[in-house]
Amino acid sequence: QVQLVESGGGSVQAGGSLRLSCVLSGYALCNYDMTWYRQAPGKDREFVSGINADGSTEYADSVKGRFTISRDNGKATNTLYLQMNSLKPEDTAMYYCKTKPTGARCPSSIAQWTYWGQGTQVTVSS
């Protein structure tokens, strides 16, 4: 019912840039707050950045000024982006997008769940 597919990961040197994408296919009458998380080996999954259906954004302190989140709301799909500049080795992680459907017209069978993508790997070498 709701699917998230990430892409855009890769290997770059420190100081480089990558742009992650996450395509959401879901129920048209729901609103989707969308978030990027990341998980490095041996560490907990952590919040990176989020953007609400109304376009308001939030960033983790560790990425402020370097990462920019944006979204493109289409009729059938929503696409979430994360532009990552000035990458550091500590940004190395698997990056996941997440969404929580909301809205008065969103069926409860969809809105009761939180949905995750499969992840895309980002590796930054020094």
Q: What is the pLDDT of residues 48-69, one digit of tens each?
A: 999 998 899 999 999 999 999 9
pLDDT value, residue 79: 95
When pLDDT is cut at 50, 70 and 90, the band that residue 47 belongs to is very high
User: What would the pLDDT profile of 72-99 be if each residue is shown by its tens digit?
Assistant: 987 778 999 999 999 999 999 999 999 9
Q: What is the pLDDT of residue 109?
A: 92
The per-residue pLDDT for 27 is 85
φ, ψ at 117 (rounded to 5°): -85, 180
**Percent of the chain scored above 90 by pLDDT?**
88
Contact 20, 36 (CB under 8 A): yes
Average pLDDT in the 25-39 region?
Answer: 92
CA distances from 15 to 11, 19, 41, 87, 102 (A): 12, 14, 21, 5, 37
pLDDT of res. 73: 86
